[in-house]
Amino acid sequence: MSAVLEVKNLHIAFGGVKAVDGLSFDVHAKQIVAVIGPNGAGKTSAFNCITGFYKPTAGEVLLKGAAITGKRPADIAAAGVSRTFQNLRLFPDLTVLDNVRAGMHLYGGQNWADAIFHTPRFKRSEAAYTEEAHRWLDFVGYTGPRGVPIRNLAYGQQKQVEIARALARKSDLLLLDEPAAGLNYSEKQRLLELCHRIRNLGTAIVLIEHDMGLVMEVSERIVVMNFGREIAEGTPAEVKANPAVIEAYLGRDEDGEVQSHGDA
């Protein structure tokens, strides 16, 4: 299997803080990989390096074998990476549908002249955008209103829409930053099932997650980070048995679930 994502010896520092300090891991097609680690371990910073929001100070990121290191976020997204954010980053005053349409921007299908003259091409393209947006909302199991500003919705619904928006990008790789944070038990179960369905579309997933139960169940491989470094990598069973992980992370909590510390 060829690697969708290869992260090689990634570094980023903010002043004296080495947020990511030599991280390497691969993600293969249709794989679900979890990145875990205590708050401040550098997980979100690693995501930001991969997606171009931070420029890594050293290291390489390859997508399907091609280097995307240090490129502009929009170019990396166009190359086939899509993401959600740890704290929701939706477009608050826009409707649910418009938020999902954002993920579809690269579909094109119309230009400004089509818009001004309302050409048949424009009407077809708009209808396709709307239909596709509904389709992705259905896919993530969103049942709320779709024509209202997203700021009026419940938190769980907003999280669903953010995933729908990322999926509409139709990328090869989806990065989810704490998708289960703030969700209740049944919402987490639905997220688990959704991850499997996304994988079946042919999209590889990397997710940052604190809920160990969910991580153990959903992921094929787990990357464990602490202080910017990778301290372990392997299957859930291997990671569970790794003494370094138990000491640094799991050992702190008897029932295997680390207390959520809210937003890092």
Partner 1 sequence: MSENVDTTLAPKKIRPPSGRVSRLFESKWLGWVALAIAVAAPFVNATPYALNIMTTAAIFVLLASGLNIVVGYCGLLDLGYIAFMAVGAYTSGIVAKAFDLPLLFTIPVVLVMTVLAGLIIGAPTLRLRSDYLAIVTLGFGEITRITANNLAITGGPSGIFGIPGILKIGDFDFQQPAVFYYVTILVVAGFVLAAARLGKSRLGRAWRFVREDEDAAEAMGIHTYKVKLLAYTFGAIWGGFGGVLFAGHLSAVAPTSFVFLQSALVLMAVVLGGMGNMRGVVIGALVISLLPELLRDLAEYRYLAFGVLLIVVMLFRPQGFWPARGYEPERKPAEEREAVAVAGEQR
Ligand X SMILES: Nc1ncnc2c1ncn2[C@@H]1O[C@H](COP(=O)(O)OP(=O)(O)O)[C@@H](O)[C@H]1O
Query: Dmax over Cα atoms in the chain, in whole Å?
Result: 66
Residue 3 CB-density burial (10 A; 0-12 exposed, 13-18 middle, 19+ buried): middle
Residue closest to Mg ion (Cβ)? 44
Q: Least distance to Mg ion from the beta carbon of 134, Å?
A: 31
Q: Is 4 helix (H, G, I), strand (E, B) or coil?
A: strand
Query: DSSP label at 228?
Result: T
45 scored as a contact of partner 1 (CB under 8 A): no
Cα torsion angle, 165, 170, 175, 180, sign: positive
Rounded Cα distance between 123 and 143, Å, is: 26
Residue numbers 20-49 binding Mg ion by CB under 5 A:
44
Binds partner 1 by CB under 8 A, chosen from 25, 54, 122, 142? 122
Question: How many positions of this chain bind partner 1 (CB under 8 A)?
Answer: 60
31 scored as a contact of partner 1 (CB under 8 A): no
Rounded Cα distance between 242 and 193, Å, is: 27
Binds partner 1 by CB under 8 A, chosen from 65, 147, 185, 243? 147
The residues binding ligand X (CB under 6 A) are 14, 17, 19, 37, 39-45, 264
Q: Are the beta carbons of 102 and 191 closer than 8 angstroms?
A: no
244 binds, among Mg ion, partner 1, ligand X, none (CB under 5 to 8 A by kind): none
Residue numbers 159-218 binding partner 1 by CB under 8 A:
165, 169, 181-182, 184
Whose Cβ is closer to Mg ion: residue 24's or residue 86's? 86
Q: Least distance to Mg ion from the beta carbon of 69, Å?
A: 21
Q: Is 173 helix (H, G, I), strand (E, B) or coil?
A: strand
Instruction: Say if strands 3-14 and 229-234 run parallel, antiparallel, or are unpaired.
Output: unpaired
Instruction: Say if strands 81-83 and 173-177 run parallel, antiparallel, or are unpaired.
Output: parallel
Whose Cβ is closer to ligand X: residue 40's or residue 73's? 40
Residue numbers 223-252 binding Mg ion by CB under 5 A:
none
Binds partner 1 by CB under 8 A, chosen from 3, 13, 58, 102? 102
139 scored as a contact of partner 1 (CB under 8 A): no
| Order of strands, sheet of 32-36, starting from the edge strand that comes earlier in the sequence | 81-83, 173-177, 204-208, 32-36, 221-226, 229-234
Which residue stretch of 86-94, 113-121, 132-140, 156-164 sits at the interface with Mg ion (rule: CB under 5 A)? 86-94
Instruction: Say if strands 229-234 and 58-63 run parallel, antiparallel, or are unpaired.
Output: unpaired
Amino acid (one-letter) located at 194: L
Interface residue list for Mg ion (CB under 5 A): 44, 86, 264
Interface residue list for partner 1 (CB under 8 A): 51-53, 72-75, 77-78, 82-83, 85, 87-95, 97-98, 101-103, 105-106, 108-112, 114-116, 118, 122, 125-126, 129, 134, 145-152, 155, 158, 165, 169, 181-182, 184, 260, 262-263
